[in-house]
């Protein structure tokens, strides 16, 4: 029970009991043995502390010796002392000792001395007092210089110590930047040790977060290329995670963004979206979301697009936010990506995302924008327009126009409705879902807002959206909906014609174009044509005939033709001359020939004689097609959605 009482050389009596079942004597001996061990450790701790206390003054002098051999031996001894906690605490409390170690590392003429000194600082950096002592002793510039060492162990000690300082020491980040630490760290991305790279990339993240100058230094030293290379070629999860964190920070920098994309960042980040590490997937998604507005022309994203469509089924709101945002930007003005997403079942998935989004604008807006892109200007646009209806998306889309208004969502929805209306089969479902009254109400509200601020030079913004854009969008959507006779009657019955005529005077050219376009459709009905004429539309339409905008001039011509059908022969002739002059104003020879033919075709009528013009097809007014009737959707627009300042 008390083996220490045995005479030296004697053996303790063997206990007859199986090893798995200790005897009562053995169980009673355990506490005394633990107590003995603790006492021995305490004595050793005190001995270590006393030894270090006595040795520190002499070792400090030896570290400053002129003889490199003496300095080397002293550094080795100090390194041994830091292996034990008691002596390490004593060393930390001596600022002169820490300063001597820093100086020895800086002036070392042999790699072994530098290695021992770097090891000492590394050991001290695991304690808060040690970090403070290193910082106050000028250790950061010295450690930064060590990042150029050819010795791997010195590099490891230096980067790890700097990492600890960046994490826990106030003022360390600025000190590292001032010591040109970033310029030394970025080239280290070419190293091959995954654990070393993980520490290095984490240092880059700590230094660049919230500091634009650091981001630009990383860019100038080739950081994006090195980081993308790591994402493409390594599979160590911690390294991939720390690297993705740096890329996430850099992805909100306008200068770094294109550099990351051009280095293949979209493809490299995309290859990690199907892994098992959720933290890595989240970082990759946010980074892709931030980069996506700079990657609309990138090729080779087929696999990424397919993965993103799959992720639209996620219940994770962050994943849904990112997937919809990325798809919205990657389908902007890229017909190939639009076709691919449509073929991958993107329309149905986006509709489900809209339904699940509820009041989450960060999901609803990009999802609707993506649908708007998919329903226009690519080979499968009509397929996408039909798919929205077939997957019961029309009511969900129209519902987004209701209160409360979040204007970016409204703007995207209006554009989507316009595109959907291009498909004849969607006209009735849109009407039945209540699209027309909602569009008219939005138009009235937006127009009233613009009128209230008309006296000031500033444009009317709500949630970052100009109200003139809402006016243009709603009018454009009603223009396409008016192609259907029933819709045409409903639009006219809501007292909209006076407003459309008023919009002909707008200072915004696109508003003039769409208002002339909707009047062109409404004028197909005789009653509406009479109302248009009664509202005094002829005067602004005559003026718009001379517009340099081809669409405006052609629509104005069409409306004038339609409202002049029941007018006198003189009036029709005057309109005809004005139209022809406008349409051929850039071709004097053609104008001369046409002006002669007009007098032949339209001789002055005899008294009480009238000549009725045949209804004119607007497309026959000119060799040009009616601008707008051939337009198959609003122009796509991409969004810089890297909102978080990093």
179-193, 247-261, 376-390, 391-405: which has the minimum mean pLDDT? 391-405
Residue-by-residue DSSP string for 180-208: THHHHHGGGGG---HHHHHHHHHHHHHHH
| pLDDT band at residue 85 under the 50/70/90 scheme | confident
| pLDDT band at residue 589 under the 50/70/90 scheme | low
In this prediction, residue 583 carries a pLDDT of 58
Give the separation between CA 323 and CA 503, rounded to whole angstroms. Answer: 38
Q: Are 74 and 65 in contact (CB under 8 A)?
A: yes
Give the separation between CA 180 and CA 174, rounded to whole angstroms. Answer: 10
Q: Report whether pLDDT(644) > 50.
A: no
In this prediction, residue 405 carries a pLDDT of 77
Give the separation between CA 500 and CA 515, rounded to whole angstroms. Answer: 5
Give the separation between CA 26 and CA 49, rounded to whole angstroms. Answer: 34
Q: Report whether pLDDT(638) > 80.
A: no
Q: Report whether pLDDT(517) > 90.
A: yes
In this prediction, residue 586 carries a pLDDT of 56
User: Across the chain, what does the average pLDDT equal?
Assistant: 85
Number of Cβ atoms within 10 Å of the Cβ of 644 = 10
Give the separation between CA 526 and CA 497, rounded to whole angstroms. Answer: 13
In this prediction, residue 55 carries a pLDDT of 80
Is pLDDT larger for residue 50 or for residue 330? 330
CA-closest candidate to residue 307, choices 315, 290, 319, 298:
319
Contacts of residue 27, Cβ cutoff 8 Å, sequence gap at least 6: none
Instruction: For residue 620, give both structure tokens.
Output: 């026959």
Q: What is the mean pLDDT of residues 497-515?
A: 95
SS3 466: strand
In this prediction, residue 193 carries a pLDDT of 97
Instruction: For residue 22, give both structure tokens.
Output: 């200790």
Instruction: For residue 96, give both structure tokens.
Output: 């002169």
41-45, 355-359, 361-365, 473-477: which has the minimum mean pLDDT? 41-45
In this prediction, residue 395 carries a pLDDT of 97
In this prediction, residue 147 carries a pLDDT of 97
In this prediction, residue 33 carries a pLDDT of 54
Q: What is the mean pLDDT of residues 405-429?
A: 96
Is pLDDT larger for residue 602 or for residue 524? 524
Give the separation between CA 377 and CA 379, rounded to whole angstroms. Answer: 7
Is pLDDT larger for residue 205 or for residue 625? 205
Taking only the tens place, the pLDDT of each residue in 115-174 is 999 999 999 999 999 999 999 999 999 999 999 999 999 999 999 999 999 999 999 999
Q: Report whether pLDDT(577) > 70.
A: no
CA-closest candidate to residue 634, choices 551, 514, 522:
514
In this prediction, residue 534 carries a pLDDT of 93
Q: Pick left, alpha or beta for residue 376 (phi over 0 → left; psi -120 to 50 → alpha; otherwise beta).
A: beta
Give the separation between CA 432 and CA 427, rounded to whole angstroms. Answer: 9
Is pLDDT larger for residue 4 or for residue 191? 191
SS3 465: strand
In this prediction, residue 88 carries a pLDDT of 83
The percent of residues in the chain predicted with pLDDT above 70, rounded, is 79
What's the full length of the chain, in residues? 646
| pLDDT band at residue 561 under the 50/70/90 scheme | confident
Q: Report whether pLDDT(180) > 50.
A: yes
Taking only the tens place, the pLDDT of each residue in 225-255 is 999 999 999 999 999 999 999 999 999 999 9
Q: Are 552 and 512 in contact (CB under 8 A)?
A: yes
In eight-state DSSP terms, residue 293 is G
210-219, 266-275, 625-634: which has the minimum mean pLDDT? 625-634
> What pTM did the predictor assign?
0.82
In this prediction, residue 92 carries a pLDDT of 86
Taking only the tens place, the pLDDT of each residue in 433-490 is 999 999 999 999 999 998 887 766 566 788 889 999 999 999 999 999 999 999 999 9
Residue-by-residue DSSP string for 280-309: HHHHHHHHHHHHGGG-TT----HHHHHHHH
Give the separation between CA 525 and CA 561, rounded to whole angstroms. Answer: 13
SS3 259: helix
Q: State the chain's maximal CA–CA distance in angstroms.
A: 150
**Which secondary-structure segment (H or E) carries 101?**
helix 95-107
């Amino acid at each position: 029970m008390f083996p220490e009482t045995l005479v030296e050389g004697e053996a303790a009596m063997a206990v007859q009991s199986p090893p798995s079942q200790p005897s009562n004597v053995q169980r009673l001996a355990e506490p005394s043995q633990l107590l003995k061990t603790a006492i021995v450790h305490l004595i050793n701790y005190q001995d270590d502390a006393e030894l270090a206390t006595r040795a520190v003054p002499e070792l400090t002098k030896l570290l400053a010796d002129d003889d490199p051999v003496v300095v080397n031996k002293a550094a080795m001894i100090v390194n041994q002392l830091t292996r034990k906690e008691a002596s390490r605490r004593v060393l930390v409390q001596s600022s002169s000792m820490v300063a001597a170690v820093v100086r020895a590392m800086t002036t070392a003429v042999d790699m072994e001395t530098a290695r021992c000194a770097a090891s000492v600082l590394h050991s001290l950096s695991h304690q808060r007092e040690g970090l403070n002592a290193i910082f106050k002793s000028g250790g950061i510039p010295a450690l930064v210089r060590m990042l150029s060492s050819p010795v791997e162990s010195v590099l490891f000690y230096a980067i790890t110590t700097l990492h600890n300082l960046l994490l826990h020491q106030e003022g360390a980040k600025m000190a590292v930047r001032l010591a040109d630490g970033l310029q030394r760290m970025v080239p280290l991305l070419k190293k091959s040790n995954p654990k070393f790279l993980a520490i290095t990339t984490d240092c880059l993240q700590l230094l660049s977060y919230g500091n634009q100058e650091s981001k630009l230094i990383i860019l100038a030293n080739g950081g994006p290329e090195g980081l993308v290379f790591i994402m493409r070629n390594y599979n160590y999860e911690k390294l991939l995670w720390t690297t993705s964190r740096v890329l996430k920070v850099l992805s909100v920098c306008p200068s770094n963004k294109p550099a990351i994309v051009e280095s293949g960042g979209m493809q490299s980040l995309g290859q990690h979206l199907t892994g098992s590490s959720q933290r890595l997937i989240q970082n990759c998604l946010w980074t892709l979301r931030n980069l996506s507005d700079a990657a609309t022309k990138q090729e080779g994203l087929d696999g990424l697009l397919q993965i993103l469509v799959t992720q639209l089924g996620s219940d994770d709101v962050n994943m849904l936010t990112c997937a919809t945002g990325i798809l919205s930007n990657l389908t902007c003005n890229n017909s190939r990506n639009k076709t691919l997403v449509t073929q991958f079942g993107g329309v149905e998935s986006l509709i489900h995302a809209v339904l699940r989004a509820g009041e989450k604008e960060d999901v609803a807006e990009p999802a609707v924008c993506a649908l708007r892109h998919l329903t226009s200007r690519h080979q499968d646009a009509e397929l996408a327009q039909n798919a929205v209806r077939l997957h019961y998306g029309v009511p969900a889309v129209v519902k987004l126009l209701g209160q409360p208004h979040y204007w970016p969502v409204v703007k995207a929805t209006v554009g989507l409705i316009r595109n959907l209306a291009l498909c004849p089969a969607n006209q009735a479902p849109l009407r039945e879902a209540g699209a027309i009254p909602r569009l008219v109400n939005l138009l009235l509200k937006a127009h009233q807002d613009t009128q209230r601020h008309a006296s000031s030079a500033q444009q009317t913004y709500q949630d970052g959206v100009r109200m003139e854009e809402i006016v243009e969008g709603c009018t454009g959507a009603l223009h396409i909906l008016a192609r259907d006779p029933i819709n045409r009657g409903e639009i006219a019955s809501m007292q909209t014609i006076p407003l459309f005529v008023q919009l002909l005077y707008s200072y915004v050219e696109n508003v003039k174009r769409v208002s002339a376009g909707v009047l062109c459709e409404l004028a197909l009905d005789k009653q509406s044509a009479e109302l248009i004429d009664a509202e005094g539309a002829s005067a602004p339409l005559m003026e718009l005939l001379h517009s340099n905008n081809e669409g405006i001039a052609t629509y104005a011509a069409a409306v004038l033709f339609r409202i002049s059908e029941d007018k006198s022969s003189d009036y029709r002739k005057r309109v005809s001359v004005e139209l022809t002059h406008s349409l051929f104003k850039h071709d004097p020879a053609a104008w001369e020939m046409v002006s002669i033919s007009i007098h032949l075709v339209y001789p002055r009528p005899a008294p009480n004689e009238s000549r009725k013009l045949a209804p004119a097809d607007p497309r026959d007014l000119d060799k040009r097609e009616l601008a707008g009737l051939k337009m198959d959707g609003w122009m796509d627009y991409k969004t810089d959605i890297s909102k978080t300042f990093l």
